Structure 1
Amino acid sequence: MNSFEHDVAVQATNDDAQTTKVNAVERGYYEDPFVRYFARKGSRKSPLINRGTWVRVQAVYDSVDRFLEIYRESSCRQIVSLGSGFDSLYFQLQKKSLFREGDRFLDVDYDSVISKKVEIIRTNHELRTALRADLTQLTNTCGARTDQYVLAGVDLRVVEDLKRVAEKVAGFSLEAPTLVICELVLIYMEPKHSDAVLNYLSSSFTELLLFNFEQVGPEDPFGKQMTKNIEARGSPLMGLSAYPSAQSQKERFQKLNFNKVAAISMLEYYSKCAESLQDNVKLRIRVFLVLELIRMVKLVQEMLIQLFPMVAQVCKRI
């Protein structure tokens, strides 16, 4: 497979992700009034997929909520989503009024993905209304922007382009607290490229939190099947063999000068966080799980233990 074919296959994972999110939202696992505008309605997904999608989305939302709360006194908080796809996170933050004047948000992905996302936003009344500002085309970069929100096409294998877009196009301050979201992104890159991205982030930003979500455990039965299925679609997990475990991921971030690194499996996360959800959310999920006659507890556990959200921190302030 050549580089172009690999890129096309990786971009297709965005469509899959949006379809699974729409399905989970329609089944009542979580709320997102914007996701349906970014995806075609697909076939009904299994309870296993719906439950995994819900936990994954909740982990991202929690990391964002905690970041915004930790730095609530800051006049400028910055979020960048690497390989953002058609994710609707910025619109969710606007709807909940969690973003303030002075905060900045950057979506980064392939040119083709960003172009489609910009077009969807421009042609959808609800999205334009939620945006609260008009999009203007970027100069010399694929994408568009408002004063607060930037969508930019970047090949993450070219770190200089990421640096230019973050610092020049989006106007990110290297001194302001910054959250970087990498949700199933780095693992599709060759380690030399993904490590270069991490090295740029850790060496450039003074106060950085990074949320990285990836698969581990390629050698156990579930991991082998997962890897086989993904490779069959033409989008191999190029970083999995280099960093096959949570421990190897921790060592990776430490080697790349992240001060603090913490990781738990999604199974641990689900166990610890499920009880903190609002009662109406828990009830709705229980009802749908019963209606779907879920009898796959072992499969759910096997799936969740393969997925690790990891938070890595850089803090250079004295």
Structure 2
Amino acid sequence: MIKQGILRYFMKSIDELTAFYVDAFTEGKGDLVKQSELIGNTLYQSVQKGLLVWLAAIIIAALVFSSSTWILFFILASAAVIGWLVNDQYKQAKQAFNERCYAEIFPKLVQFVDGNLHYAPARVVSQHVFTDAKLIPLPFNAYSGQDYLSGEYDGVHFEASTVTVKHQNESSNPLIKCLAQDKELFSGVLIRAEFELASKGQVVILPKNKPDFDPEYLGAKCYSRLERCPVKFAEFERSFVVLASDSMLAKSLLSERFMLRILSLQQKFGNNVYITVADGHVTIAVNGLHIFDRSRNIYFDNFYADDVMSWYGDLMRVFTVFYDLGLTSRAS
């Protein structure tokens, strides 16, 4: 009940969202609808051209081949190729339309949430932030991301983005490179925010109940200067591993109240929460959480109302991390 009350306190009301939808998108909707109609016309024209090419292929097959089996095979093969090309062209047109909509909608939505926020769609939190936080011990060679946010939100100075971390196969053998799949190690939100900690040092909190969690990971080189610190809280100890440069530092940080806050994040996001506190900052990684869901297809005319609400919900789920962890003035 308390958490629901907090959510109601800082989230926009339905009336505010409705007003935003009308003000921000109704005026420009006609142009986007014209673009979507243009995509439909492009598909129609592509199908027409494809049918003409297919008819030509049938005529050529009848003239070249004497066997009906070969003629049938040629007709079916040409139909499959033409169908694939038409479908691929249609997908590219839809994706280009989606990207344009994202480029127009997301910045407005971020400013609607808070005018102090800065948004850069193609930027990502620096790789060194992820590496220095020691969130995963496994080596990676591919780091990418998007939807970068920065600024101050309810008194919290932060930067955040969606991040994808992979170990890509780098074999020069094309067969091995084709068969060996890249391993995705992390795909979610990375947040770095200001955090008051009296002593200098580092405390790393890792989820213990991951299916691929291996205690031997704790012996990795990146953890060589950290020691494992037990905590006197059975529920927290079952769910997380605590590593620290100084056991007294970990003890001073991990009050029962702070551990309960971390457990509340676990209840919300599962065993996907990673936290590092060091040098006046807290780095929070939530695997599986994204600032905006870009997989949503917004080609059709009726996408605005529902999808804008959903994107707003995506964005606010990121900011609930600040509240759940007690970083904001309202949560303290």
TM-score, normalised relative to structure 1: 0.27
**Structure of greater relative contact order (alpha carbons < 8 Å, 6+ residues apart):** 1
TM-score, normalised relative to structure 2: 0.26
Bigger share in strand: 2
